[in-house]
Amino acid sequence: MANIGLTNIWFSKLTENNGVPSYEGATNLGKAVSCSVSVTNNEAKLYGDDVLAESDTSFAGGTITLGVTDDDDSIFAPLLGHSISTGEVVKHADDAAPYVGCGRIVTKMVNGVYKYKVEFLYKVKFSEPSKDENTKGESIEFATPSIEGIIATLDDEHGTWSKTKTFTTKSDALTYLKNLMAAAGTTYRVTFDLMGGTSSTIEDTDVTAGQSINLDDGTGITAPSGKEFVGWATTPDATAADVTSPYTPSDDITLYAVYQNET
């Protein structure tokens, strides 16, 4: 197993109530360049009769350093607790960065097959990034911004701090990641376009963030003449299905019926 890529760095402001986290909806930090996570563990050892009788290690804290292609003020200002108005960012010494949830997708190669691992941190506070800028010389060198955050634990019984899950498609990984940070009560509208087919049972529906719906497998659809149903897709010009059932939306979306000629 090898890590071969990094994409989709997202964050969302955290509100914590007795150790239970809630978020306000995912925001993309920017195109991912790099990510470095450093973890510090507590260590305790108990010796008895001149031998190690008990030992314990537990998460103490950590740091995360993220590199992106651009430090967009409209994104970095609220992340760091600064005010922004009409494109102007004003920074004060007493500005306080909020705690946020932060996640990313790591692309892996497992036995020759691509996998997409979501790595999510429940509680992070980022600090003002340092600047390193140079004038252009004889050759152009890109300088990309980075930002560092302190990883903390939730105030729950177990000190929860991280969650991971691996998927076979990047789209499923991104849906999962964005839904981890969806605002409470968020629902997504799933609209079905039968693309010339008919149905008396398929209806547009609202889905709570993080929940899934079962998609009709064609038994409830009358296909256009000479066609047979083969699945659902996210674009009207698709020639093959690109979503699977159960389906978990991460935004309002239209799903289009896909047909092929009868065999």
User: Residue ranges per domain, the chain?
Assistant: 2-180, 187-261
Check: CB of residue 160 under 8 Å from CB of residue 153: yes
**Band (114; pLDDT cuts 50, 70, 90):** very high
pLDDT value for 150: 97
State how far the alpha carbon of 1 is from the alpha carbons of 81, 113, 114, 252, in Å.
39, 10, 10, 35
pLDDT value for 43: 80
Check: CB of residue 190 under 8 Å from CB of residue 263: no
What is the CATH topology of the domain spanning 187-261? Immunoglobulin-like (2.60.40)
pLDDT value for 216: 96
pLDDT value for 144: 74
pLDDT value for 106: 96
* DSSP state, residue 247: B
User: Torsions phi, psi of 5, nearest 5?
Assistant: -175, 165
Tell me what the mean pLDDT of segment 99-108 comes to. 96
